[in-house]
Amino acid sequence: MVRFHLDVLTDAGLVTSRAVQSGTRGRPRRLYLPASRAVAGGQTGYELLSGILAARWAGDSEQRARRAEQAGWDWAGHQEPGPAVPAATLAEAAVHVNAVFAELGFEPDLVRDGDSLEIRLHACPFRAVAIKHPDVVCSMHRGLLRRALADVDAPPAAVSLQPFVQPHLCLARITPVTAPSPGRQIPPSTGSGGKP
């Protein structure tokens, strides 16, 4: 039973194996070792697995994006860089969002752009997968952004995420909305109601 699982890991490039001669009769023993972090195509194991999962996420592009945004919303619930304190202003909320993205390795910069706040994401840790599957990965990050704002009871805002405005730069934009929103919740993204 164990050999079957090791063969699956070997086929995935996560484990290497070789025969070891023991000098006795019978089938030679197999020695299994962890593969180097780089696997097929120079990807790390997580990149390969993430790419496979993103490619297999069923549905059309809109369905995939909606489910990915919900997954990002859920993921943000596990990414608190500290206790969430209600934000009195959208700028305070954006500081919190910036901290969440920093904690995850995005190397963000927060800048004001007129009435809007822009978080420039310089180092997407999921870039290799996002290039091939932006509908999944970038939607997940939009859900993360929306949940991080909701967690601090941010004032009403419209959010957007523009992937790859430059090869290593994505933009998260937070813009105040003038219409009141019940419960000060972040408005849903286009095409969905309530939570993503």
pTM: 0.67
Q: Is 73 helix (H, G, I), strand (E, B) or coil?
A: helix
- Give the model confidence (pLDDT) of 26-35 as tens digits: 777 777 777 6
Q: What is the pLDDT of residue 27?
A: 78
**How is 9-28 classified by DSSP, letter by letter?**
HHHTTSEEEEEE--SSSSSP
Q: What is the pLDDT of residue 57?
A: 76
- Give the model confidence (pLDDT) of 166-180 as tens digits: 999 999 999 999 755
Q: What is the pLDDT of residue 111?
A: 96
CATH 3.40.50.300 fits 59-184, yes or no: no
Q: How much of the chain exceeds pLDDT 70, in percent?
A: 78
Q: How much of the chain exceeds pLDDT 90, in percent?
A: 40
Q: What residue ranges of the chain are covered by domains with CATH 3.30.1380.20? A: 59-184
Q: What is the pLDDT of residue 119?
A: 98
* Dist CA 117 CA 112 (whole Å): 5
Note the maximum CA span of the chain: 81
Residue 114 pLDDT more than 70? Answer: yes
Phi, psi (rounded to 5 degrees) for 141: -70, -35
188-196 average pLDDT score: 45
60-87 average pLDDT score: 83
Q: What is the pLDDT of residue 79?
A: 72
86-103 average pLDDT score: 93
Do 54 and 129 contact (CB within 8 A), yes or no?
Answer: yes
* Dist CA 183 CA 156 (whole Å): 9
Q: What is the pLDDT of residue 184?
A: 47
Q: What is the pLDDT of residue 179?
A: 58
